[in-house]
Structure formats: structure tokens, C-alpha cells
């Protein structure tokens, strides 16, 4: 390896050598996504090989009302660096505090900035935002039909006892059937995600259908 290569040349080399697959899965909504751990495991050895380091900061700009993501690729043996910037609003997750939302915003922003720098392609629609639900609200499919009586079903999601849930609620007042879906959180570890994917044992009696 030519140690005199510039950081831009090293980024190109890393992009060409980088191989990773989407290990994050949402079986209920039928899509895969890149988890932060998957990206880190693939990129970190190449960063070490080419003597580079990733630095990330996410200050809040009060004038813009936005977070300002700043990701820099810096040389370990030189003062050379390349800086990338990206403005992003606070990620709002139902039932969580602003501090937790800020953490989710940081994870989301850093992941997509790294993907952009190293040309990691996201071939599917961006479905892995934690507050994503437009698909079920705007598109009619078999999932929007109650399997018990055939009436329209309404998608809802939220948090109960600290755990995420999602379900389809039959709009027929005589039926009131509920189809529970898996709960998901991109910031959870694999063990936490597997625990969260269990279906609730009891329906939520106080939900507004």
C-alpha cells in the first residue's frame, strides 16, 4: 500500500474493498436495513489498514433549529482531514424523552453520513426510521384488512411499559379484532431487539380505535 495516498484516494480504496450486507430485518414490514454495528464491523478494519479515523460531532444550532452533523475523516499519521456536514432535525419517537430522541438522531445521522462518504448504496426506500408508518397509513394491502371479518383495519404503534408495539385494529365495532405486529428499535442490541420482537400477550383496552 502506498502510504503517500491522499485521504480522498484512501476513501476510494476503502469504498472498493468494502463488503457488507443488511443484517437488520423488519419481518413484519418486509424490509432489511444496515445496522450501525454492521457498518462499523465492515469499515473499522479498513480504517485501520489505511491509517484513518472517523470523528463525529452533532451540535445543535438554535438559529436553524436543527442539529448540524459534522463527520470528518482524518489521517492517523498526518494532519490531513476531510470534513462532511449534514443538517438534520430532532428525531421524535413516540413515548420517549428529548434526550432519547437526540440519541436516536445522532445514531441515524452518523450512520447515513458514513454510508454517503463510502458510497454504501441503500437500494430500497428509507424505511428504517423509527417513526416510519406512512406505508400503512397511505397504502392499502392485505395487512389493512381484518383477517377475522374482512373489515378495514387501522395501523397504530406506540410504547407500553417501556416497550414498542404495533398492531392493526379492526374498525368493525362488532369484531374489534387486533393483529399484533413485532416491535422494533434500531438502537437496540441484537438481544434487546429479539426480546422486543415478541407479541404482547394482552390487548390494550384503552387504545382509541
Tens-place pLDDT, residues 25-73: 655 555 666 777 888 889 999 999 999 999 999 999 999 889 999 999 9
Dist. CA 49–CA 53, nearest whole Å = 10
- pLDDT by residue (tens digit) across 168-193? 888 888 888 888 875 444 444 444 44
Least confident of 84-88, 92-96, 146-150, 183-187: 183-187
**Could you give the residue ranges of the DSSP H alpha helices within 20-97?**
36-49
| The dihedral sign for the CA sequence 128, 134, 138, 142 | positive
Amino acid at each position: 500500500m502506498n502510504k503517500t495516498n491522499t485521504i480522498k484516494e484512501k476513501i476510494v480504496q476503502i469504498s472498493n474493498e468494502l463488503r457488507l450486507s443488511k443484517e437488520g430485518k423488519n419481518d413484519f414490514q418486509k424490509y432489511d436495513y444496515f445496522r450501525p454495528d454492521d457498518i462499523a464491523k465492515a469499515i473499522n478494519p479498513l480504517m485501520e489498514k489505511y491509517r484513518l479515523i472517523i470523528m463525529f460531532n452533532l451540535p445543535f444550532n438554535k438559529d436553524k433549529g436543527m442539529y448540524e452533523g459534522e463527520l470528518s475523516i482524518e489521517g492517523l499519521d498526518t494532519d490531513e482531514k476531510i470534513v462532511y456536514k449534514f443538517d438534520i432535525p430532532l428525531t421524535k419517537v413516540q413515548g420517549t424523552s428529548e434526550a432519547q430522541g437526540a440519541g436516536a438522531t445522532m445514531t441515524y445521522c452518523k450512520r447515513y453520513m458514513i454510508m454517503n462518504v463510502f458510497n454504501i448504496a441503500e437500494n430500497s426506500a428509507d424505511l428504517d426510521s423509527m417513526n416510519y408508518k406512512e406505508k400503512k397509513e397511505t397504502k392499502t394491502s392485505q395487512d389493512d384488512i381484518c383477517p377475522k371479518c374482512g373489515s378495514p383495519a387501522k395501523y397504530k404503534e406506540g410504547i407500553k411499559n417501556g416497550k414498542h408495539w404495533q398492531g392493526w385494529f379492526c374498525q368493525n365495532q362488532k369484531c374489534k379484532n387486533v393483529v399484533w405486529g413485532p416491535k422494533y428499535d434500531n438502537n437496540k442490541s441484537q438481544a434487546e431487539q429479539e426480546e422486543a420482537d415478541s407479541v404482547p400477550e394482552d390487548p390494550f383496552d384503552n387504545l382509541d380505535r
